């Protein structure tokens, strides 16, 4: 009995993950214009099956936000644990961490979320403002080692958060023709050059 229940849970989790991956693929080409019909066609399954896993588009998008940010956190963890990198190299890479599989996702279109999907945007803001522990610990180590100036870490955190949030809240990137990943690289370069000891 327990084994059957465990297998059902595992199957349901795999199905949810498959739907999320399909949603991300559709988002790459359609942005927030994607529909449940688009996702169903991409996955070769019925909308009813999708709604059995996710009760609403909001729930699906919130799970997608969590999956993306969990992927970013995993990328950061791998960088931090890489003993072949110096502390300064780790800081540089962690600040711009993005899983390779998400590099071509155009996040600049997410400014529409606030009006169309306020709960999803709220989740996005929450994830932007949390999960900074390993980044701040790494920067504190950089200060101790003397590779970065003794800057206020809360100020650096707010600068990064605010910049990323502004990218999502406005058409800045769309108007400038910059992709999210290129803009993130620019921001990281400016911050790293500002805090690095010379």
**pLDDT at residue 27, rounded to an integer:** 86
Q: Taking Cα atoms as reference points, which of 67, 23, 62, 68 lies closest to residue 45?
A: 23
3-state SS of the chain?
Answer: CHHHHHHHHHHHHHHHHHHHHHHHHHHHHHHHHCCHHHHHHHHCCCHHHHHHHCCCHHHHHHHHHHHHHHHHHHHHHHHHHCCCCCHHHHHHHHHCCCCHHHCCCCHHHHHHHHHHCHHHHHHHHHHHHCCCHHHHHHHHHHHHHCCECCCCHHHHHHHHHHHHHHHHHCCHHHHHCCCHHHHHHHHHHHHHHHHECC
**pLDDT at residue 43, rounded to an integer:** 93
Q: pLDDT per position in the chain (198 positions), as tens?
A: 566 666 566 677 888 999 999 998 898 888 778 899 999 999 999 999 999 999 998 999 999 889 888 988 999 999 999 999 999 999 999 988 876 666 666 666 666 777 788 898 889 888 888 888 889 999 999 999 999 999 999 999 888 888 877 776 666 766 777 777 787 888 888 888 888 887
CATH fold label, 1-55: Arc Repressor Mutant, subunit A (1.10.10)
**pLDDT at residue 146, rounded to an integer:** 94
**pLDDT at residue 7, rounded to an integer:** 58
**pLDDT at residue 41, rounded to an integer:** 95
Whether the domain at 1-55 and the domain at 57-195 fall into the same CATH topology: no
Domain boundaries, the chain: 1-55, 57-195
**pLDDT at residue 184, rounded to an integer:** 81
CATH fold label, 57-195: Tetracycline Repressor; domain 2 (1.10.357)
**pLDDT at residue 108, rounded to an integer:** 60
């Amino acid at each position: 009995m327990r084994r059957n229940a465990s297998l059902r849970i595992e199957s349901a989790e795999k199905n949810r993950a498959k739907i999320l991956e399909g949603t991300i693929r559709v988002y790459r080409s359609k942005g927030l214009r994607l529909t449940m019909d688009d996702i169903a066609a991409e996955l070769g399954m019925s909308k009813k099956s999708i709604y059995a896993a996710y009760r609403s588009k909001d729930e699906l998008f919130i799970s997608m936000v969590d999956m993306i940010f969990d992927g970013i956190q995993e990328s950061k963890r791998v960088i931090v644990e890489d003993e072949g990198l110096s502390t300064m190299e780790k800081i540089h890479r962690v600040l711009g961490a993005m899983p390779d599989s998400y590099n071509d996702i155009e996040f600049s279109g997410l400014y529409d979320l606030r009006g169309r999907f306020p709960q999803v945007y709220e989740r996005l803001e929450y994830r932007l403002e949390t999960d900074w522990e390993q980044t701040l610990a790494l920067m504190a180590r950089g200060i101790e080692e003397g590779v970065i100036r003794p800057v206020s870490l809360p100020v650096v955190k707010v600068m990064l958060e605010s910049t990323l949030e502004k990218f999502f809240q406005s058409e800045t990137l769309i108007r400038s023709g910059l992709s999210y990943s290129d803009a993130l690289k620019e921001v990281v370069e400016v911050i790293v050059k500002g805090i690095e000891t010379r």
